[in-house]
Structure 1
Amino acid sequence: MYNVSVPMELTSLNNTSGRTFEQVGCQYGWEYDHTWYTLTAPSQEDWVCDKSLYVSNTFAVSRAGDVIGNLIFGQLGDSIGRRPVFFLTLFMLVFGRCISVFTANIYWLFLVASFLGSMSTSASFQSPLAIGMEVSAPDRRGYLTMLQCLGFTLGISIMPLIGWATGDWIIFMLVTTLPGGVFLFVRKHFPESPRWLASRGKIDRCEKVLLHIAKINGTSLPPDTRAKLKKIASQKEKFYGLASLFSSWRLAKNTVLISATWVISGLTYYTLMLNVSYLSGNPFLNFFWQSMVELPGNIVGKTLSDRYGRRWTQAGTFVALIMGYIILIAVMKDPNMQWLTITMVVFAKFCITITFYIIFLQCMEIYPTCVRQTGTSLASLLGSGLGILGPYIIYLGVSIDVVYPFIILAVMALFGVIFCIFLPETLNQQLPETLADAETFGCDQKFWQTYCNKKDKVANII
């Protein structure tokens, strides 16, 4: 508002003959559009006008928390164990998000709570997946990863429905946060990874966990179990955090390729999801349908990667993604082909779901036990960090040409094909345990081969 002491016509403000008027904040409050949202943090605390930057700051702090959390907790998972990191991050997630609900009126405290709640998001997903992969048979790892990805998809699909039903950000935050606290009370039923325990020389604890698993399965441990555990413990290596990922040429190459593929998939995923805001209609349903397409994507990804191998399934999916983008670029400006445009956007989301599923598998299967969570966190960190480019890619389509974002995504998918085909095949292979194992993992594989046999025999696909 202009700080004017006497009534003036609007035309007078536009013709002031060089005079300037002081601008002050709105004096009479604001009215908000409640079509879809009854109460949000910005509408509750009036983060508008001179406080509109508060919203952007909150988003930036949350992204920073995710990046820093990936960096810290990924390495902690490999140094102190998957189990304690899972419960630590779960507590921070519940605590941070709940505190943020009650501190929106104290903005700096709200930012701290948002930061804490965001730090643990990725690690709370990665730690249980690492444990599950490390206790599974080679032919069951794909199935286990599919289950966790399906759980994630169901979560993000139900989330907009909860938001639509409540319309209140406080109720929404509590309803989607408090159920996670239940797992804090079942710690004794959540085992540590026996592979990690063995790699750190904790033989007694490892044997105890294995005995518990054998009891649940109605079996018994082989007589030479302890001797094998001692042999594994004798190969214990020093842990240097992120530096360990570049301790050999082959491991460094795999780290770079996995991280690059994750960045491509992550940036594409974020760009497609952010594009929901530019669609007309109910924003909650738009988000819901885009999320639901991930359910068949994860199932198809598991089926194909278990049949044709991880890297060839991923390469084929990137090729299919490129073909979808070409069709999109050709028909986007034709109003009569709107149905095909929407179909291709959904198809692109379907394809990128498959690539994401396979990347999770490859991270867990290529990295050795001593740096498995560190490597996964590094790739996730880079993907999340560069995900901030997503809004700018969309902006190119809004401000310049609607096809520009899909041209960029098509070029990125082409690089995805190149990166993924030079990764080793991991289907039905034993997980590498040490850095020495990672240095030789896949070196005896031929380029045009995939490991499809449960007995680890090579089956040529050409």
Structure 2
Amino acid sequence: MDNVLAYSKIGETIGSLFFGWFGDTYGRKPSYIISLSLLITGRAISLITSHSYTFFVTGCIIAAFPSTFALQSISLISIEISSPKRRSQIAKYRLIASSFGMCLMPLLYWWLRDWKTFLIVTTVTQLPYLIFSWKIIESPEWLWVNKKPKKCIRQLRHIARVNNASLEKDTENKILSESHTTGNEEALGPLELFSSRRLAINTFLQLCLWVSVTVSYIVSLLSSGEKSDGNPFLEFTWQALIEVPAHFSAAWLVEQLGRRYTSAASSGFTCILWMILGLRELDVFSWLNQGYIGTIIGIVNRFSITIAYYTINLLNMELYPTRLRQSGMSLGNIVSGGAAAVAPYILYVGHRHGVYVSSGILGAVSLLGLLAALFLPETSNMELPETLEEAQQFGNQPQEL
């Protein structure tokens, strides 16, 4: 099983590199369709050839290859057709849906009690999305930036028709006349994320934030599970449910405080909670050793980490121009995957040398997230960068800390 997980991670990493470039070069819609097709195909191979280890692993790798981009491609289309004020709402709905899915997953497996049946059920439910994927629109913003003004207008007309409105003639003429001034860049790749000092700083800071959030999230998830003496299926469900109100709170906070301050505050609060958990083992304050105190701290910590996770997902979509947005997200996924692989070892260090040691490491990592968030540019209610040049300058304007 460990080898299967390792091979799947390798497939996920390669897939992140490929689909990040593919989605920015050929569009969000084909990226979604191919991702979902590979996911279903890989699972089907694993089911049919479960008697053969080699073919079973091959199916797992194929399914893992596009594992993050079926959902992210749709999220990008939603973000790119939304006004700046609604971007945080799009992220909120996506993450809340994911949390509810996590709630249902252990309950479904608890009921079925068979991995093949579970895999069949969760794969068959994806088929309608693939069958009707032709109805999905392409991002008009991506079409415009990539010099496809006529297709962009057709998509905008469709959106207007669905909303019982019409696309103004002046808007069509403006799209056609300005199309020659945009999309003049050659095909961009992941290296363009570091093509200027400002863009490289933004990329580095958001990757630091990804590491901070992912490590805290995975350790919180693993440590909660191992301390549970109850039903593991229900325990997983309760943990996922905690995230739902956290997403609502995060959506409100990013609009009131902005992305930077929300992320910095949640990272700082998480840092404090990790320190408190370390003090419990040192017996500095006897009242901290009460069992219910540890439970409360764990719940509040998961709540705080979820807010930070929400914010970095939003920032990751907003920092990059249209032609680099999916590449930026893929780089975040790769770094996040690496951080997730390291997280269990931090938990192991705590078991081996004392919880205060792992708490100190996690506190330092959370502090890194706080500092990274403070020096990122604010994106709340701002126009997303459309070109590489705009992204290279985004954040150069003085911003208050």
**TM-score range with shorter-chain normalisation?**
over 0.9
Q: Which residue of 237, 248, 251 corresponds with 1:302?
A: 251
Over alpha carbons, which structure has the higher Rg? 1
Tell me the equivalent position of 2:324.
Answer: 371
Structure 2 unmatched runs, 5+: none
Tell me the equivalent position of 2:53.
Answer: 107
The structural deviation recorded for 1:220 is 2.0
Aligned length: 394
Give the AA of the match of 1:191: I
The structural deviation recorded for 1:98 is 2.5
Q: Which residue of 175, 179, 197 corresponds with 1:229?
A: 175
Q: Distance in 1 between matches of 2:247 and 2:256?
A: 14
Q: Which residue of 295, 298, 302 corresponds with 1:345?
A: 298
Any idea what the Cα deviations from partners look like across 1:412-447, whole Å, max 9, x if unmatched? 000101111111111111111100111222322422
Is this contact kept in 2: 1:251–1:439, CA < 8 A?
Answer: yes
Tell me the equivalent position of 1:248.
Answer: 196
Please state whether the residue corresponding to 1:240 is helix, strand or coil: coil
User: Is 1:219–2:172 an aligned residue pair?
Assistant: no
Tell me the equivalent position of 1:358.
Answer: 311
Tell me the equivalent position of 2:226.
Answer: 278
The structural deviation recorded for 1:131 is 0.5
Any idea what the Cα deviations from partners look like across 1:117-141, whole Å, max 9, x if unmatched? 1111111121111100000011111
Structure 1 unmatched runs, 5+: 1-54, 449-462
Is this contact kept in 2: 1:63–1:385, CA < 8 A?
Answer: no
Q: Which residue of 236, 241, 244 corresponds with 1:292?
A: 241
Q: Which residue of 388, 405, 420 corresponds with 2:373?
A: 420
Give the AA of the match of 1:309: G
The percentage of counterpart residues that share the same residue type is: 35
User: Is 1:124–2:70 an aligned residue pair?
Assistant: yes
Q: Distance in 2 between matches of 1:270 and 1:98?
A: 29
Tell me the equivalent position of 1:323.
Answer: 272
382-391 vs 206-215, which moves further = 382-391
Per the normalisation by structure 1, the TM-score is 0.83
Is this contact kept in 2: 1:69–1:119, CA < 8 A?
Answer: yes
| CA shift in 2, pair 1:276/1:327, >3 Å | closer
Q: Distance in 1 between matches of 2:210 and 2:112?
A: 34
Q: Which residue of 434, 437, 442 corresponds with 2:390?
A: 437
| CA shift in 2, pair 1:167/1:107, >3 Å | same
The structural deviation recorded for 1:224 is 2.5
291-300 vs 394-403, which moves further = 394-403
Q: Distance in 2 between matches of 1:91 and 1:416?
A: 36
Per the normalisation by structure 2, the TM-score is 0.95
Q: Which residue of 145, 148, 155 corresponds with 1:202?
A: 148
Any idea what the Cα deviations from partners look like across 1:17-66, whole Å, max 9, x if unmatched? xxxxxxxxxxxxxxxxxxxxxxxxxxxxxxxxxxxxxx111010111111
The structural deviation recorded for 1:271 is 1.8
Give the AA of the match of 2:374: I
Is this contact kept in 2: 1:97–1:113, CA < 8 A?
Answer: yes
Is this contact kept in 1: 2:198–2:395, CA < 8 A?
Answer: no
Is this contact kept in 1: 2:224–2:298, CA < 8 A?
Answer: no
Please state whether the residue corresponding to 2:248 is helix, strand or coil: helix
Q: Which residue of 105, 110, 115 corresponds with 1:164?
A: 110
Any idea what the Cα deviations from partners look like across 1:90-112, whole Å, max 9, x if unmatched? 11111112221222210011111
The alignment's C-alpha RMSD in Å is 1.5
Q: Higher helix proportion, which one?
A: 2
The structural deviation recorded for 1:189 is 2.2
Q: Distance in 1 between matches of 2:234 and 2:115?
A: 17
